Amino acid sequence: MKSSRMWPILLMLGAACFMSMAACTWAASQGSAHPGGNSAASSDDDANAPYKTFDAVPAITMPPLLLDMSSTSVVVEWMTDSPGDERVRYGDGRLDHEIVPQQDGLIPVGAMHRVVIDGLLPGHTYQYQVSSRRVVALKPYWPDMGRTVQSPVYSFTTFDPAKKSASFAVITDTHEDVDRIRGLMDMIHREPVDFVAHDGDGVNYGVSENQLKDRFLEPMSTGLQGRVPLVYARGNHEYRGEFARSLGGYLHAQDDKYFFTRDEGPLHLVVVDTGEDKPDDTNVYAGLNDLRDYRSEEFAWLRKTFTQENRTTTAPFTVVLGHQPDWGWLDGHGEQWTQLANRAHIDLFIAGHEHVFQYIRPGERGNDFPILVVGQDQVARVQVSDTELKVVVTDRAGKLADEFSLKRKGK
């Protein structure tokens, strides 16, 4: 009797279990409808469900740096303490334009932010503001987002080849010395300049993004105050270290090169990359350098620049900016670069590398132009008009190292 009464109960329990298992299997096949779900079904069924937004605000750890200004464009760089997107609002008098960059259809996400503003007018002053929205988790669907941080509003003035005058300052070989950078920048701001040039060796060798930020980019950007652009020439120490191959993402000019030209008023500026100071096959490089081919490419560019670029002959003054005064290691063919500069009738070469002041007169190294070597703790201030180029070099103690002027010559 007991056994026969149990059968209906067992059959009911079995059916319930079967139905429960079927329901669980169906639910698993459908996936979660929660906005954070990762299944393909949930993304297809409810793609517009809201993503999560957390109360996480990034901090700007490097204020905006203006890099490689031209008459119609400029690079704006900044860093945050955590990954985020990037956008720049700008305008002439009001922030009525916005740039949100994309690469291959994706908005960049990271702690380093680099945006090119183009389509600008020569000699115009623009206001701008950078912002980054925190990306908490970059999931394939419904990334977890945070809040947005905005910088103060800054301003810059684009280069203008039609200006009657130009002014700039040159520093070099700061070698990760933050106090040196801050002291030199304080000197520069005693008189306004159109831009500041760093002539290389900002780091001892490339280690990491944080090293580059903390020991070079952040003190430079703070000193430039978000309004004075930086022109950068690569030094030989920037070729070294595990992070050296990544430096272009932070220091390249707009065309992803380390050599380029820019024009401001009567000044035609030619920036060159003087490479390493030893042959490629020196054991210290372990066969990982190929400056021979790279410098050949650069030489072809420089020859074309000097022979075909109109401003080389029409600008009142042509100044070459490069780290090493002897053009760097060129397999003994450095005189070819000097002869090219002689034929172009350049007016001045400004270098660093030696860490002490030097003035190399025309003729001393086969050069028809003076070569100014700026010392490690010095500022060279250059004023250019239609008829004259004046240079004053002082050290951090305020002592005058040299001053001279060059008259405009026929080209």
The pLDDT averaged over each successive group of 10 residues in the chain (411 residues) is 39 38 35 40 72 97 98 98 98 96 97 98 98 97 98 98 98 98 96 97 97 98 98 98 97 97 98 97 96 96 96 96 96 92 98 98 97 98 98 96 95 73
- Looking at residue 44, what is its pLDDT? 55
- pLDDT tens-digit series, residues 156-200: 999 999 999 999 999 999 999 999 999 999 999 999 999 999 999
CATH number for domain 166-407, candidates 3.60.21.10, 1.10.10.60, 3.40.50.1820, 3.40.47.10: 3.60.21.10
- Looking at residue 7, what is its pLDDT? 39
In sequence order, the 6+-apart residues with CB closer than 8 A to the CB of 117 are: 73, 74, 76, 88, 90, 99, 126, 128
**Verdict on whether the full-model pTM lies above 0.95:** no
Architecture of domain 60-157: Sandwich (2.60)
- Looking at residue 410, what is its pLDDT? 81
Q: Give the whole-angstrom CA distance, residue 383 versus residue 381.
A: 7
Q: Kindly list the domain boundaries of the chain, sorted by start residue.
A: 60-157, 166-407
